[in-house]
């Protein structure tokens, strides 16, 4: 099975391009923090992601640098030779689905936060709030 899911931030603004036959394509880079630390420092991995057709248009229209993004897709290798004849391999994620994952920036401590509305037992089909065990 070849499936990968990542959540991270866009490293730069997406740029929509088209192939010679007019198919939309968008290449993005997603920075993903590792869940573990080495020597007290958290490392970040950078994933190259290729979006095609409607997904490419969606990403270029609604995402920008720093925005959280989720990507589901498959890993694919691409082999190529440089001008000197050296062989290289690039690994890319071919995006099947992308989605929003929160705001572009984290709120600062001094920014006022709107408190969510309080829920009552009656809102959940219950009766008296005093009888709820939490």
pLDDT values of the chain reduced to their tens digit, one per residue, 134 residues = 999 999 999 999 999 999 999 999 999 999 999 887 777 788 899 999 999 999 999 999 999 999 999 999 999 999 999 999 999 999 999 999 999 987 655 544 444 445 445 555 454 455 555 554 44
Q: Does residue 130 lie in a domain region?
A: no
Burial classification of residue 30, based on how many CB atoms lie within 10 Å of its CB (0-12 exposed, 13-18 middle, 19 or more buried): buried
In this prediction, residue 127 carries a pLDDT of 53
Q: Does residue 122 lie in a domain region?
A: no
Q: Does residue 91 lie in a domain region?
A: yes
In this prediction, residue 36 carries a pLDDT of 75
Burial classification of residue 103, based on how many CB atoms lie within 10 Å of its CB (0-12 exposed, 13-18 middle, 19 or more buried): exposed
In this prediction, residue 92 carries a pLDDT of 96
Q: Does residue 65 lie in a domain region?
A: yes
CATH number at residue 24: 2.40.50.140
Structural domain boundaries, residue 83: 4-105
In this prediction, residue 128 carries a pLDDT of 53
In this prediction, residue 37 carries a pLDDT of 74
Domain count, the chain: 1
The tokens for 69 are 């993004």
Contacting residues for 112 by C-beta, under 8 A, at least 6 apart: none
């Amino acid at each position: 099975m070849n499936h990968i899911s990542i959540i991270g931030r866009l490293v730069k603004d997406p740029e929509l391009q088209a192939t010679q036959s007019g198919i939309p394509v968008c290449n993005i880079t997603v920075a993903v923090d590792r869940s573990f630390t080495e020597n007290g420092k958290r490392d970040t991995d950078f994933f190259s992601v290729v979006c095609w057709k409607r997904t490419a248009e969606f990403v270029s229209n609604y995402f920008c640098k720093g925005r959280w993004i989720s990507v589901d897709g498959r890993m694919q290798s691409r082999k190529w030779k440089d001008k000197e004849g050296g062989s290289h391999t690039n690994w890319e994620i071919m995006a099947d689905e992308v989605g929003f994952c929160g705001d572009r920036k984290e709120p600062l401590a001094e920014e006022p936060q709107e408190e969510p509305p309080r829920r009552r037992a009656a809102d959940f089909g219950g009766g008296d709030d005093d009888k709820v065990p939490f």
